[in-house]
Amino acid sequence: MTKTVFITGASSGIGRSTARLFQERGWNVAASMRSPDQAGDWIKQDRTLGLRLDVTDGESIGVAMDRAVTHFGAVDVLVNNAGYGTVGPFEASTPEQVERQIATNVTGLMNVTRAFLPHFRERRRGVIVNVASMGGRITFPLYSVYHATKWAVEGFSEALVYELEPFGIRVKIIEPGAIKTDFYDRSLEVLTRPGLTAYDGFVARAMRTMQKAGADAPGPEIVARTIYRAVTDGRHRLRYPANSASILLLRRLLPTGVFMGLVKRLVLK
User: For 67-81, what is each residue's pLDDT tens digit?
Assistant: 999 999 999 999 999
Query: Taking the model in full, what pTM does it have?
Result: 0.94
Active site amino acids:
146
Domains of the chain: 4-267 (3.40.50.720)
Asked if residue 180 has pLDDT above 90, the reply is no
Share of the chain above pLDDT 70, in %: 98
Asked if residue 188 has pLDDT above 90, the reply is no
Range of weakest confidence among 105-109, 136-140, 144-148, 264-268: 264-268
Higher-scoring residue by pLDDT: 212, 32? 32
DSSP 45-99: STTEEEEE--TT-HHHHHHHHHHHHHHHS---EEEE----EEES-GGG--HHHHH
Question: Which pLDDT band, with edges at 50, 70 and 90, does 187 fall under?
Answer: low
CA distance 122 to 67: 18
CA distance 77 to 206: 37
Q: How far apart are the first and last CA of the chain?
A: 54
pLDDT computed for residue 181 by the predictor = 75
Share of the chain above pLDDT 90, in %: 86
Question: Which pLDDT band, with edges at 50, 70 and 90, does 98 fall under?
Answer: very high
pLDDT computed for residue 185 by the predictor = 55
Asked if residue 184 has pLDDT above 60, the reply is no
Measured from the Cβ of residue 115, the count of other Cβ atoms closer than 10 Å reads 16
User: For 8-27, what is each residue's pLDDT tens digit?
Assistant: 999 999 999 999 999 999 99
CA distance 175 to 214: 15
Question: Which pLDDT band, with edges at 50, 70 and 90, does 213 fall under?
Answer: confident
Question: Which pLDDT band, with edges at 50, 70 and 90, does 45 fall under?
Answer: confident
pLDDT computed for residue 210 by the predictor = 83
Q: Read off φ and ψ for residue 189, nearest 5 degrees.
A: -100, 120
pLDDT computed for residue 61 by the predictor = 98
pLDDT computed for residue 32 by the predictor = 97
Asked if residue 182 has pLDDT above 80, the reply is no
Based on the number of CB atoms within 10 Å of its own CB, is 171 exposed (0-12), middle (13-18) or buried (19 or more)? Answer: buried
Asked if residue 183 has pLDDT above 70, the reply is no
User: For 118-158, what is each residue's pLDDT tens digit?
Assistant: 999 999 999 999 999 999 999 999 999 999 999 999 999 99
DSSP 159-198: HHHHHHGGGTEEEEEEEE-S--SGGGTTTEEEP--TT--T
pLDDT computed for residue 198 by the predictor = 97
**Angle, CA 113 vertex, CA 108 and CA 118 arms, to 5°:** 140
Question: Which pLDDT band, with edges at 50, 70 and 90, does 111 fall under?
Answer: very high
